[in-house]
Amino acid sequence: MKTQQSITSIPASPEEDRRRRMIQYTVAMAIRMVCVIICFFVHGIWLLVPLAAALILPSVAVMLANNVGATRSTKRVDVAHGVLVVQEPIRAVPMDDDK
């Protein structure tokens, strides 16, 4: 039996997802370049901060760029054995409409 798709469960298009990942990667690499440039102007123990960021950011950027298919949906709808199960994400901060 074919499962019914809800509009909130449909992921972003591949082009939109690729564009989002490319922007995230570009921003992370731009921040890395700023950290490398700052390394030339900072002295002493403070040199470790931009140096550490410049060394860690490439791996973080690659992990973000490889996160294919991350959805922005707020609910996940599953149909299992004729039972409709709706799961909402856990929010750390209550929203205004929860009052």
pLDDT digits (tens, 9 = 90+) for 34-74: 999 999 999 999 999 999 999 999 998 888 888 776 555 44
Q: Find all residues with CB under 8 Å of 9, minimum gap 6, and list them.
A: 71, 73, 75, 76, 77
pTM of the predicted structure, to 2 decimals? 0.58
User: Cα–Cα distance between 44 and 56 in angstroms, integer?
Assistant: 20
pLDDT of residue 37: 95
Residues with Cβ within 8 Å of 85's Cβ and at least 6 positions away in sequence, in order, are: 77, 78, 79
Q: Which residue has the higher pLDDT, 78 or 23?
A: 23
- Mean pLDDT for the chain? 76
